[in-house]
């Protein structure tokens, strides 16, 4: 079992953050307020999640766990659209379908095919695994959506040239789709390639700190990386493809009223 951190220990960890705050102050970066706010938010959010997860794990009810998963999916989806600068009202359901479809598919695969817990809906597996996959999908989806639409906006003439040369909407958007998927997955490929050498991944570290044997932790880590990578690629692709019918008008022109900025 992990050695429990006392309140005093936790205070000492907060104290550690005085170092970056002092650096911000010295360099006059103007980040102190934002950092303090972020730390405050993190503390409250994690406290609430800790209490809630405690409750969910004790209850271990599939419907309550699924409700929590649904809340995570909706929150992630809203965050993706906000950060990618897309209007939520236009893309909410399509984006949710892309993110939820890919996340639930790979999570289900990992839990039901690889881990096979008893019961299958065990909240201790379902909630953290979906959360981990979703967190990574969020980042890749923001990157891919933003890159895809900014690419077309920047190269409006090029995009129209493809259409005028006889390309369908799918054909004309393919170069931008390639760029977007590349931008979304390249950082992950680099992370996967250096895993274990440059960094010890969070899940594995957590398991080792929790008392698991390193070899056991490694197997889980490989599993979760496979899930994260698959979900990221599928969600990025699905999100872009599902957004096309809304983002372009009936003459295949990119609508300008779909962006928030």
Partner 1 sequence: MIKFENITLKVHRQTLLDDATLQIADGDKVVVRGASGCGKSSLLKCMVGALPTTSGSVRVDGLELSADTVAEIRARIAFIGQEPVLGAEKVCDALLLPFHFKAHCGKKPSDERIFQLLERLHLSSNILDKPSKRISGGEKQRIAVIRALLLNKTIFLADEITSALDPESKAAVMAELFRPEITLLSVSHDPDWVNACTHVVKIQNAKLQEISRQRAQETQGKEVLSSLRSFAANKNNGDEHDS
What residues line the site for partner 1 (CB under 8 A)?
A: 155, 157-158, 160-168, 171, 249-253
Considering the complex, state which of residue 160 and residue 222 has its C-beta at the smaller distance from partner 1.
Answer: 160
Considering the complex, state which of residue 8 and residue 164 has its C-beta at the smaller distance from partner 1.
Answer: 164
Considering the complex, state which of residue 27 and residue 165 has its C-beta at the smaller distance from partner 1.
Answer: 165
Minimum distance from residue 211 beta carbon to partner 1 (Å): 54
Considering the complex, state which of residue 79 and residue 155 has its C-beta at the smaller distance from partner 1.
Answer: 155
Minimum distance from residue 253 beta carbon to partner 1 (Å): 7
Minimum distance from residue 177 beta carbon to partner 1 (Å): 15
Considering the complex, state which of residue 125 and residue 248 has its C-beta at the smaller distance from partner 1.
Answer: 248
Minimum distance from residue 165 beta carbon to partner 1 (Å): 4
Minimum distance from residue 162 beta carbon to partner 1 (Å): 6
Considering the complex, state which of residue 168 and residue 186 has its C-beta at the smaller distance from partner 1.
Answer: 168
DSSP states of the chain: -PPPPPHHHHHHHHHHTHHHHHHHHHHT-S-HHHHHHHHHHHHHHHHHHHHHHHHHHHH--HHHHHHHHHHHHHHHHHHHHHHHTB-HHHHHHHHHHHHHHHHHHHHHIIIIIII--SSTT-HHHHHHHHHHHHHHHHHHHHHHHHHHHHHHHHTHHHHHHHHHTT--HHHHHHHHHHHHHHHHHHHHHHHHHHBTTTB--HHHHHHHHTT--HHHHHHHHHHHHHHHHHHHHHHHHHHHHHHHHHHB-TTSPBPGGGB--
Minimum distance from residue 244 beta carbon to partner 1 (Å): 15
In contact, 246 and 97? CB cutoff 8 Å: no
């Amino acid at each position: 079992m992990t050695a429990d951190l006392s309140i005093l220990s936790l205070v000492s960890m907060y104290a550690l953050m005085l170092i970056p705050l002092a650096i911000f102050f010295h360099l006059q970066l103007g980040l102190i307020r934002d950092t303090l706010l972020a730390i405050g938010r993190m503390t409250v959010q994690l406290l609430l999640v800790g209490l809630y997860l405690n409750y969910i794990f004790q209850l271990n009810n599939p419907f309550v766990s699924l409700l929590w998963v649904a809340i995570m999916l909706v929150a992630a989806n809203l965050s993706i659209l906000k950060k990618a600068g897309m209007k939520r009202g236009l893309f909410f359901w399509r984006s949710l379908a892309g993110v939820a479809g890919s996340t639930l598919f790979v999570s289900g695969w990992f839990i039901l095919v690889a881990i096979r817990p008893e019961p299958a809906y065990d909240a201790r597996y379902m909630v953290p695994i979906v959360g981990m996959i979703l967190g990574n999908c969020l980042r890749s989806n923001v990157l891919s959506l933003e890159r895809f639409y900014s690419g077309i906006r920047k190269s409006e003439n090029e995009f129209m040239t493809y259409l005028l040369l006889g390309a369908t909407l799918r054909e004309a958007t393919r170069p931008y789709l390639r760029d977007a998927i590349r931008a979304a997955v390249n950082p992950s490929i680099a992370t996967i390639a250096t895993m274990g050498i440059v960094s010890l991944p969070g899940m594995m570290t957590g398991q080792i700190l929790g008392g698991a044997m390193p070899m056991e932790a490694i197997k889980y880590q490989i599993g979760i990386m496979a899930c994260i990578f698959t979900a990221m690629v599928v969600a990025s692709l699905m999100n872009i493809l599902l957004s096309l019918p809304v983002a372009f008008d009936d003459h295949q022109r990119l609508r300008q009223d779909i962006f928030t900025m």
